Amino acid sequence: MPLTGPRDMFAKALAGGFAVGAFNINNMETVQGILQAAGDERSPVILQVSNGARQYAGRGYLRKMAEAASEETDVPFVLHLDHGSGFDICKACIDGGFTSVMIDASSKPFAENIEITKKVVEYAHDHGVVVEAELGTLAGIEDEVKVAAHEASYTHPEEVEEFVSKTGCDSLAIAIGTSHGAYKFKPEQCTVNEQGILVPPPLRFDVLKEVSKRLPGFPIVLHGSSSVPQEYVKMINEHGGKMPDAIGIPEEMLRQAATMAVCKINVDSDLRLAMTGVIRKQFAEHPDQFDPRQYLKPARIALRDMVRHKIVNVMGCNGKA
């Protein structure tokens, strides 16, 4: 199935009370694992490429992998630029065949964010490409996106109507308490449940409700939405890793958001954790192995299973292809 844009996906998600999963790709195994999961669950899906991934894999490689995958995949999927830092990278991805781009000027003053976003939107729309923008700033680290906790800010609902009307963006990423990376919260910010697991503060659903009230029927996006599954944190730590106090967003909160105005939920860290945990375990249990296929195959399976879990239990988009 050829690459597609996300407009129809988002319209169906808003009408059906589910979200579409947006999963980051870095290499062949991530592309294969994500699309195998989407095919198994008959789900639409978004493949995301960060600037760091473009630099790691080469600017053309991930695009060509997606193109090759489209010949073997029978579910709709989008190729999306994640956190485009300016007009030039957005233009390069649009010209290179991406069907969706994100311009992230959220660190700029409001008026400058509008100006930069509008420029990208005008070019993208002239080429039939959809644009995601961001208002509000998430804390955490993801590739080149690094925001200290004291620099983060929730989205101000009173700004969203002006921002969307002046930029013409097609979807809007908002900040309601999610955070990038595997270390989303400090332990002192959390409570401890009966199982001894750290539970982060709840998401600001009041902000989400007010935004959706002001932008009825408009696609909302959540970044920084990995749950940091503790079984993989434990697996990593038991096999030579060091990830103390890695804390994510509880999946029930994300599922609640998916039933509201949120139609795209980004997941990256959970995929990294699944692959890394399995690879570390494989190295420890099979020290004689040296063929990369021997550890990349089980890592790809773990990633596939993680994506299937997210599609069914977080997004609710299984059977929606």
Residues 42-77 pLDDT 10s:
999 999 999 999 999 988 899 999 999 999 999 999
CA angle 123–136–224, rounded 5-degree value: 90
Show the DSSP H helices in 17-130 as ranges.
28-41, 51-57, 61-70, 87-95, 110-126
Q: Which amino acid, one-letter code, is at 131?
A: V
Q: What is the pLDDT of residue 151?
A: 43
> So which residues are the catalytic ones?
82
Q: Cα–Cα distance between 282 and 208 in angstroms, integer?
A: 42
Cβ-proximal residues to 219 (8 Å cutoff; 6+ apart), any chain: 6, 10, 13, 14, 170, 171, 172, 261, 263, 264
Q: Find the mean pLDDT for residues 284-292.
A: 96
Whose CA is closest to 299, among 24, 32, 62, 47? 32
Q: Which of 174-178, 244-248, 259-263 has the lowest mean pLDDT?
A: 244-248
- Return the percentage of the chain with pLDDT > 90, whole number: 79
| pTM (2 d.p.) | 0.92
Q: Is the pLDDT of residue 123 over 90?
A: yes
* Interval 143-164: pLDDT, tens: 555 544 444 578 999 999 999 9
Residues 82 and 102: their CA atoms lie apart, in Å, by 6
Summarize the confidence of residues 190-213 as an average pLDDT: 83
Report d(CA 42, CA 114) in Å as an integer: 37
How do 198-199 and 45-50 pair as beta strands? unpaired
**Rounded to the nearest 10 degrees, what angle do helices 157-167 and 110-126 cross at?**
40
**Tokens 């989407």 belong to which residue?**
38
CA 143 – CA 26 distance, rounded (Å): 12
**Both tokens assigned to 59:** 């600017």
Supply the pLDDT for residue 144. Answer: 54
Structural domains in the chain plus CATH codes: 7-315 (3.20.20.70)
φ, ψ for residue 153, nearest 5 deg: -150, 140
